[in-house]
Amino acid sequence: MSSEPEIDTEPGRDANSNILIVDDDRQVRDVISVLLSEEGYAVTAAASADMAVDLASKSETHLIISDLKMPVHDGLWLLDQVRKESPDTSVIMLTGFGDTEAAVECLRRGATDYLLKPPKVTDLIRAIERALSRRRIDLARRRYQKRLERKVQDKTAELVAALEEVEGSYENTLRALVAALDAREHETSDHSQRVVRFTKAIARVLGFSGMELADIGRGALLHDIGKIGVPDSILLKPGPLTKEEWVEMRRHPEIGFHILETIPFLQTPAQIVLSHQERFDGGGYPRGLAREEIPIGARIFAIADTFDAITSDRPYRKGQGYDAARAEIRRCSGTQFDPACVEAFLSIDNVRLGEIRAAVAQLDA
């Protein structure tokens, strides 16, 4: 298990550090500059806060030692500019006697330290070493944090890819299962794929996206999965079903629900499967649900399934045109279908519906 790298927290001399001295008093600048140069530091001096900001923007500055009180812009202004433009630069503030409140304000705004003027040489050197040491620690932690963030991003990308691969395997398995069921009924898989795409098109108009949209699509795909439990003598019977056979046939939503309900990622689709034969007015089966009692995915699916049934060729009849299907769905709004879902469907023009049908046909071409 990785842990945060060890960081040297002991103050130490760093002769490679660039230090900027800022004071409107030339004598103070010269004295401190000579002192720090003798200690091995690279020193630059500025006579004003504005000049200091300009110098700091042109070359990397590790530490600024600034007077608090200066004409035009004072040390607090300089500190604010440095924290905004060069947050990695440490700042030590020099204050006169009686300015301790202002010094505390400097610390609050991000200064590393403050010293009374004139500073003792030993105090100044120690303050510099503390400030540079703290800067090294902060930079090391920031680099570590960035490396950690990159690792998290990489692992997250790997996890997303793995999940997408698993989801793709699930989807392929479900499609294969539905294709086998379609073949059992002598139906082409185009029907299932068209219904899924019509259902999702309506759902998008209603504002569904992401996982909700995917679940609605899976519910549409698996709507007739329960017919696995219906005997061939009933499912494939060429003539009308008897009353007893209809009772058996109408069990398929519940059979499908029980097949799917134990699969965690198919909980929502299972509810659509259970409710896909319900009617908005309560006249459907198996539970006689009405209006908003019916899951929204099932209400959307009912329209998509009816549209595909009307417009598709069957052995016993020729498919009708899109306008005829639209008229029938509009006529059944409020009885068989949810009016809001009907309006969403009707907002999709015939060109788009034709594109969906053609795209599915092209898959099998």
**Residue where a domain stops, chosen among 147, 168, 195:** 147
Q: Please say whether the beta carbons of 127 and 56 come within 8 A.
A: no
Residues 76 and 223 occupy one common structural domain:
no
Q: Can you give the pLDDT at residue 312? A: 83
pLDDT tens-digit profile of 44-68? 999 999 999 988 888 888 999 998 8
What is the pLDDT averaged over residues 82-104?
82
User: CA-based Rg of the chain, rounded to a whole angstrom?
Assistant: 38
Q: Which residues in the chain belong to E strands, given as ranges?
A: 18-22, 42-46, 63-67, 90-95, 113-116
CATH code (residue 107)? 3.40.50.2300
Residue 165, in any domain of the structure: no
The band of 2, judged by pLDDT with boundaries at 50, 70 and 90, is very low
Give, for 249, the enclosing helix (H) or strand (E).
Answer: helix 243-249
Residues 231 and 128 occupy one common structural domain:
no
Is the model's pLDDT at 143 over the cut of 70?
Answer: yes
Residues 340 and 204 occupy one common structural domain:
yes
Residues 229 and 355 occupy one common structural domain:
yes
Residues 349 and 302 occupy one common structural domain:
yes
Residue 10, in any domain of the structure: no
The Cα–Cα gap between 191 and 199 comes to 12
Residues 69 and 215 occupy one common structural domain:
no
Residue 5, in any domain of the structure: no
Amino acid identity, residue 183?
A: A
Chain-wide mean pLDDT for the chain?
Answer: 82
What is the pLDDT averaged over residues 256-280?
87
Higher confidence at residue 355 or residue 229?
355
Residues 222 and 297 occupy one common structural domain:
yes
- Using alpha carbons, select from 132, 107, 137, 143 the residue that is nearest to residue 42: 132
Beta bridge partners of 110: none
Q: Can you give the pLDDT at residue 358? A: 85
Q: Can you give the pLDDT at residue 156? A: 73
Beta bridge partners of 21: 45, 65
Residues 308 and 210 occupy one common structural domain:
yes
The Cα–Cα gap between 266 and 47 comes to 72
Residues 233 and 282 occupy one common structural domain:
yes
**Residue where a domain stops, chosen among 126, 147, 168:** 147
Residue 153, in any domain of the structure: no
Could you give the percent of the chain with pLDDT greater than 70? 83
Residue 25, in any domain of the structure: yes
What is the pLDDT averaged over residues 325-332?
93
Q: Which domain holds residue 271?
A: 185-363
List own/partner pairs for 251-256 with CB under 8 A and 24 or more apart. Answer: 251/226, 251/286, 252/224, 252/226, 252/227, 253/226, 253/277, 253/285, 253/286, 254/226, 254/286, 255/226, 255/227, 255/228, 255/229, 255/230, 256/222, 256/223, 256/224, 256/225, 256/226, 256/227, 256/228
Residues 198 and 344 occupy one common structural domain:
yes
pLDDT tens-digit profile of 11-49? 344 556 889 999 988 988 889 999 888 888 889 999 999
Residue 53, in any domain of the structure: yes
Residue 136, in any domain of the structure: yes
Residues 132 and 42 occupy one common structural domain:
yes
Residue 71, in any domain of the structure: yes
- Domains identified in the chain, total number: 2
- Using alpha carbons, select from 257, 190, 268 the residue that is nearest to residue 228: 257
Residues 216 and 90 occupy one common structural domain:
no
b or e along 189-225 (b: 16 or more beta carbons within 10 Å of the residue's beta carbon)?
Answer: bbbbbbbbbbbbbbbebbebeeeebbbbbbbbbbbbb
pLDDT tens-digit profile of 111-122? 888 888 888 888
Is the model's pLDDT at 171 over the cut of 90?
Answer: no
Locus of tokens 């103050």: 11
CATH code (residue 213)? 1.10.3210.10
According to DSSP, the β-strands at 63-67 and 90-95 are parallel
**Residue where a domain stops, chosen among 83, 117, 147:** 147
